[in-house]
Amino acid sequence: MVLRTNIPSTASVVQEKSDGCLHSPAAERNSAQIIELVRGYAPESGSALEIASGTGQHIVELAAAVPNLIWQPSDIDETRLNSIVLRSLAKQLPNLLPPIRLDVTDKGWSAFCPNQDFILLVNLLHLVSEAEVKAIIRGISQSLAEDGRSVIYGPFMRDGVLSSSGDRCFHQSLIEADPDIGYKDDAWMLDLSRQQSLKIIKILEMPANNLAFVMEKGNTN
């Protein structure tokens, strides 16, 4: 996965705190709804991977709120990995594993985290290319155990349409920075998921005009 340096500042506002942890106001705002979403659709127990854990804000809260899952944080950026470590040390949760460096656009990434019962991905797909999304979805399917579930959360087009002025402005700022990135379409996501043996069992409208795709590995017919 390319660590893009030309993404506009509106895409990710991250601040460094005095204790060395990174802080994302967006992650703070959507933390409660992410926890509610996971509680509603994750399995009761098993192993859980968060792709692109970022500042670590979500995963430490999730590990506390959903203690029967063993949570594996991951990221590609060393600064973010360090923030996850610091947050993990502060919480000392027995079901929170040390973070791993994971490039989810590498075709073999699933080998590093096989047999996952649950995979969570928040606010990443609009920041990568369609080719990278294909690698991510393929890897999610390969990494999930049979009947495992995945939740993908973020901003998407609906039938090729950007449904708010804020979405149109944000998408435009993304493609001006890098024409390969930007919002992906919900119908395209449906087709891509089916191709990778992931059945979408629910598409939920979320706050701030986001969508959540709830997927399950298995027969898509």
Considering the chain, what is the average pLDDT of its residues? 92
For the segment 104-132, the average pLDDT, to the nearest whole number, is 95
- pLDDT tens for 166-190 read 999 999 999 999 999 999 999 999 9
- Nearest-angstrom CA–CA distance, 118 and 127: 22
Long-range contacts of 186-195 (CB under 8 A, 24+ apart): 186/156, 186/157, 186/158, 186/159, 186/211, 187/159, 187/160, 188/130, 189/152, 189/156, 189/213, 192/133, 192/134, 192/137, 193/137, 193/220, 194/220
The residue that leads in pLDDT, 219 or 179, is 179
- Nearest-angstrom CA–CA distance, 61 and 199: 28
Domain 15-154+186-212: homologous superfamily in CATH: Vaccinia Virus protein VP39 (3.40.50.150)
- pLDDT tens for 102-114 read 999 998 999 999 9
**pLDDT interval class at 3 (50, 70, 90):** very low
Strand-pair partners of 3: none
